[in-house]
Amino acid sequence: MIIAANRGLVACEWRYLELQLVTQIFVSVERATVHDEQIIDVDFVEQEKQDHPVDRKEQSNPNPLSLPRGTPSDKGRARIVTVTNQKGGVGKTTTVINIAAQLGLRGHRVLVIDADAQGNCATGLGVDKRLVKATTRDLILAPERAVESRHQTAVEGVHMIVGDRSLVGLDNELLRQLGRERRLIEAIEPLLPYYDLILIDTPPSLGIVTINALVASHGLIVPVQTEYFALEGLAMLAGTIREVRNLFSANLGVDGILLTMHNSRIHLNVQVANELREAYGNLIVDPPIRRNVRLAEAPAHGVPIHLHDPESHGGRDYLSVVLELEKRWGIDSR
Ligand SMILES: Nc1ncnc2c1ncn2[C@@H]1O[C@H](COP(=O)(O)OP(=O)(O)OP(=O)(O)O)[C@@H](O)[C@H]1O
Ligand SMILES: [Mg+2]
């Protein structure tokens, strides 16, 4: 129902835009007829409407919600996965922390890059921000500092590059720089042989740092809260992926949609989960992550859930999700 409503909404928006366009053309033609009949040739406008390449493109991609899949990464080099959703508070950072930690506990070599100025990954992975000398900002501005930007976390085998408030304002600083969307991929390129996975946490906005993360990625994990407007975020993401694919990287796609903060006793949560399954099939990663206070309190102890309370619902759900992702990524536990 919600999907139908969303689709209806998108269709309505298109019709509205179309209507506006047609009205504008009529008004222009009328004005032109009054002032100078030669200004607008109606036949030409009609012809232009038929020939316009954007119109053709929109017709060939009628579903604004459709998401392409992630692409394989090279053997012996890290897969780069960005955890993203432009909606705030959906569990992106919690997902990065706990997936990275569980992968580390299972023997994988993982690098977390925090691209969010809120810098919450460091707290959740037990990195003392006061001791940090180089951050994600340094990585982007001075790629030669990539090696020294890494820090050990509370989990062996999991390293991280810390994000902090210095990321605020980076958009403006990069504004005049050529190739600014590829800074991150160029900076981490030399690190790829040393990791199995590089996980990037992003802010709930589409600034230049988020674009850098998307351009660098083989795949995306999209945490979605099973609440109303879930599809709104996914529609926004679908548009962003299309733009990034067109402009920068032909292969960006989704590795998995993760249902978060789920409560199977709440009808709305179940209904939205069903709608998402219907729309995205096996792009959904099972099981959904249940709402669990242990996940929320773990960062206060500076450890991920698997060191805080592995038997909690949150601990067990994230473990199951990691097992599923290992299969999708074709990486076995070491
Ligand atoms: N499964 C869960 N159960 C209970 N609380 C959760 C769960 N997942 C996340 N939280 C809590 O919800 C809040 C938002 O989570 P989180 O910070 O991971 O979201 P986010 O998408 O990274 O937010 P932002 O968009 O601000 O970066 C946090 O307080 C977190 O501890
Ligand atoms: Mg976050």
Whether 205 lines ligand 1, by a CB cut-off of 6 Å, is no
Query: What's the confidence (pLDDT) of residue 55?
Result: 43
CB under 5 Å of ion ligand 2: residues: 92-93
Cα–Cα distance measured from residue 247 to residue 257, given in angstroms and rounded to the nearest whole number: 24
Q: Using alpha carbons, select from 300, 89, 80, 95 the residue that is nearest to residue 203.
A: 89
Instruction: Tell me the pLDDT tens digit for each residue of 136-170.
Output: 999 999 989 889 999 999 999 999 999 999 999 89
Helices (H), 165-207: 170-174, 183-188
Whether 321 lines ligand 1, by a CB cut-off of 6 Å, is no
| HSE-CB for 266 with a 13 A CA cutoff | 13
- Across 216-237, average pLDDT: 92
Whether 89 lines ligand 1, by a CB cut-off of 6 Å, is yes
Number of the ligand 1 atom closest to the C-alpha atom of 290:
1
Helix (H) / strand (E) element for 28: namely helix 2-35
Report the mean per-residue pLDDT for the chain. 85
Cα of 89 from ligand 2 centre, angstroms: 7
Query: What's the confidence (pLDDT) of residue 328?
Result: 95
| Residue to mutate, 94, 205, 312, ligand 1, most ligand atoms under 8 Å from C-beta | 94
Please name each of the domains of the chain with its CATH number.
Answer: 79-253 (3.40.50.300)
Higher-pLDDT residue of 231 and 255 is 255
pLDDT band at 263 (very low <50, low <70, confident <90, very high): very high
Cis peptide leading into 287, omega within 30 of 0?
A: yes
